[in-house]
Amino acid sequence: MKAVFIGSGNVATHLAQALQAKGVIISQVYSRTQKNAATLAEKLNTSYTTDISEVYDKADIYFYALKDSSFRETLRKFDLPDAIHVHTAGSIPMSDFDGMATRYGVFYPLQTFSKEKEVDFSKVPVCIEAINTKVQQTLLDLAHLLGSKTYLISSEQRKKLHLAAVFACNFTNYMYDVSSQILENMGVSFEILQPLIMETAEKVQSIVPYKAQTGPAVRFDKKTISCHLGMLKNRKDLKKIYKILSKDIYKRHKKKY
């Protein structure tokens, strides 16, 4: 199987490398940014182009791993009806391919990718959606080749999943960031909180988050809450978050406030 990657960001980088390691031929990388295209092509020992008219047209599958905002305008420039076209995005509905391609689908790896860190795809859930069962089977086969667990997820569901991931990943990371600011302010290294962060994540691998909830809010420990709010008097932003989250945690567990 021959694949072309349209895009050269984190998702493209990790996914292309993982597929190549399993025997998929990455024929070419396309990116508008020469530097990124060259970097990824070098990693894959393949060619690249920044000229859309020179994109290799004999691949079996084209992966669009682009910013959401560039997806449709880029897709529009392709006319390769025999190939499979898939995007890798959480929030783009599959219907964005309508009229632009005939064999298409979505291959959404539900994970956070960073340049600095290797990805083990056997631990990445892949959400799949396809225009027909034949394309679906090809995408399932590719995901299984990577050792990934697969989920058939509709566009509507994927949108909600992406929303859930914003809470579980992006907002969670902001909570880490807030804690690191508090530590920085007191001159203590962030490493002191790292084991707690790992354990908090590990807990919900076996217990539902509802049952894993601890802290002053869930036991309505007014004294600690008001002490903490007092400590945040010069950080109105954090005070607001602390108040709202404490109230919501209490409500969730006591059904009243």
Name residues contacting a copy of itself, limited to 54-73 (CB under 8 A). Answer: 68-69
Place of tokens 């010069």: 234
Q: Cα 82 to chain center, whole Å?
A: 29
Closest CA to 127 of 162, 151, 102, 159: 151
Nearer to a copy of itself, 47 or 154 (CB): 154
Does 199 engage in binding with a copy of itself (CB under 8 A)? yes
| Contact status, residue 26 vs residue 20, Cβ threshold 8 Å | yes
* Sheet containing 126-130: order of strands: 47-49, 25-30, 2-6, 61-64, 84-87, 104-109, 126-130, 150-152
Question: Which residues 120-149 are close enough to bind a copy of itself by CB under 8 A?
Answer: 123-125, 127
Does residue 198 interact with a copy of itself by CB under 8 A?
yes
Please choose, out of 14-22, 43-51, 75-83, 201-209, the segment that lies near a copy of itself by the rule CB under 8 A. Answer: 201-209
Q: Should residue 169 be labelled a site residue for a copy of itself when binding is judged by CB under 8 A?
A: yes
Q: Which residue, 52 or 204, is less far from a copy of itself as judged by CB?
A: 204
DSSP state of 128: E
Q: In the complex with a copy of itself, which residue's Cβ is closer, 104 or 121?
A: 121
User: Looking only at residues 209 through 228 of this chain, which bind a copy of itself when binding is defined by CB under 8 A?
Assistant: 209-210, 212-218, 221, 223-224, 227-228
Q: Is 168 helix (H, G, I), strand (E, B) or coil?
A: helix
Q: Binding residues for a copy of itself, how many (CB under 8 A)?
A: 88
d(CA 5, CA 109): 15
Candidate ranges 32-40, 49-57, 99-107, 243-251; the one touching a copy of itself (CB under 8 A): 243-251
